[in-house]
Amino acid sequence: MFKLSAQRVLKAGFVNFWRNAFVSVSAMLVMTITLFTMGSLMFLGAVLNSSLLQIKEKVDINIYFLTSASESRILSLKETIDALPQVESTTYRSREEALENFKKRNQDDQLVLQALDELGGNPLEAVLNVRAKDPSQYEAIYNFLKPYIVGPTNATEIQGQIIEKANFNQNKTSIETLTKVINSSRTLGTAISIILIIISTLIAFNTIRLAIYSSKDEIAVMRLVGASNMFIRGPFIVEGSMYGLFSALFVLIIFYPLLYWIGPYSAGFFGGLNLFTYYLHNFLELFVILVGSGVIIGAISSFLAVRKYLSA
């Protein structure tokens, strides 16, 4: 019995969808705008995350060690820093590596090489580059390093102070600005997404309600013959789901040529993110989100819209 009723509901929904062609096209147009807005916000979020990631990769702390500090003590401190929960990665360059790189960069400048030889030693310091998991965590890392940094009047190791300087203070403004930009962008993006989705859903709801209005007489007849509310709602829910399904597929088709054209420009402007490549690599996720959202919005809008005629 249930199977037979379900088949009748599905059949009635499909018949209504194709019978009311003009109304269906109108409803799908609004649903398409709704889902296109949702998809665009997803791509905008991907662009924003990629751009912020590129900026984050350029923010770090460089730790310069005293030339008198032993390699073993430096490496011991490096292991301690690596173990910090805020640290994502570290890159160490020893004094010998620094000297070798300096000579390579100035191999054609004999005056510089001669001056280096006259010093009779290696004047370059070891450097440890530290990257945090989040820009807001650099201050905590710097605070951890403070006991190891020599005072402004010292030039030699005193009580475990083997760091000559760390460039956090020079980068502090940039780090704080980046942290504010990231937090503000995420908050603003979320707020805009919610507002646009609510507005688009309301428009879709009203459009579907107008579509159901043309069937109010049919609903009244079904109520007179004793049809249950769920049996009356069923075809309209199927019809609304079809609006969402076809609208989502249409949006995915629209995005293909649009992103194919925009992709090279986005790759050059947004630090390497090609939106067309992103679209292809995340197509399944986009498909599930857009189709699922379209079907849910269509079904819920139909469910609520037909309620007016059932309560009359």
pLDDT at 10 exceeding the cut of 50: yes
Q: Name residue 225's amino acid.
A: V
- Regarding whether 81 and 40 lie in a shared domain, the answer is no
Residue 153: predicted pLDDT: 47
- Regarding whether 161 and 81 lie in a shared domain, the answer is yes
The range of the structural domain enclosing residue 100 comes to: 60-168
Residue 254: predicted pLDDT: 93
Q: What is the pTM of this model?
A: 0.65
Which of 168, 189, 212 represents a domain boundary (last residue)?
168
46-87-99 Cα angle (round to 5): 105
Which of 123, 142, 168 represents a domain boundary (last residue)?
168
- Regarding whether 263 and 187 lie in a shared domain, the answer is yes
Q: HSE (CB half, 13 Å, CA atoms) of 169?
A: 4
Residue 19 falls inside a structural domain: yes
pLDDT at 81 exceeding the cut of 50: yes
- Regarding whether 148 and 258 lie in a shared domain, the answer is no
**Average pLDDT of the residues in 266-284:** 82
- Rounded to whole angstroms, the Cα distance separating 307 from 312 reads 9
Structural domain count, the chain: 2
> Mean pLDDT across the chain, nearest whole number?
77
Phi-psi label, residue 176: left if phi above 0, alpha if psi -120 to 50, beta otherwise? alpha
Lowest-confidence region among 93-97, 193-197, 288-292 = 193-197
**Average pLDDT of the residues in 236-247:** 83
- Regarding whether 113 and 183 lie in a shared domain, the answer is no
- Regarding whether 47 and 66 lie in a shared domain, the answer is no
Output 11 or 284, whichever has higher pLDDT.
284
**Average pLDDT of the residues in 235-264:** 87
Residue 124 falls inside a structural domain: yes
92: nearest Cα among 107, 80, 104, 110:
80
160: nearest Cα among 170, 169, 172, 147:
147
114-132 per-position pLDDT tens digit: 766 766 677 788 888 998 8
- Regarding whether 152 and 242 lie in a shared domain, the answer is no
Lowest-confidence region among 136-140, 197-201, 297-301 = 197-201
- Rounded to whole angstroms, the Cα distance separating 212 from 208 reads 6
Residue 140 falls inside a structural domain: yes
Residue 38 falls inside a structural domain: yes
- C-beta separation of 56 from 135 below 8 A: yes
Output 109 or 163, whichever has higher pLDDT.
163
Residue 155: predicted pLDDT: 46
**Both tokens of residue 105?**
């960069």
- Regarding whether 195 and 49 lie in a shared domain, the answer is yes
**Average pLDDT of the residues in 143-154:** 75
222-228-233 Cα angle (round to 5): 75
Residue 251: predicted pLDDT: 93
Which of 149, 168, 187 represents a domain boundary (last residue)?
168
157: nearest Cα among 72, 68, 73:
68
20-71 per-position pLDDT tens digit: 667 677 778 878 888 888 888 888 778 877 777 777 777 788 888 888 888 8
Residue 116 falls inside a structural domain: yes
pLDDT at 74 exceeding the cut of 60: yes
**CATH number of the domain where residue 105 is located:** 3.30.70.3040
- Regarding whether 120 and 71 lie in a shared domain, the answer is yes
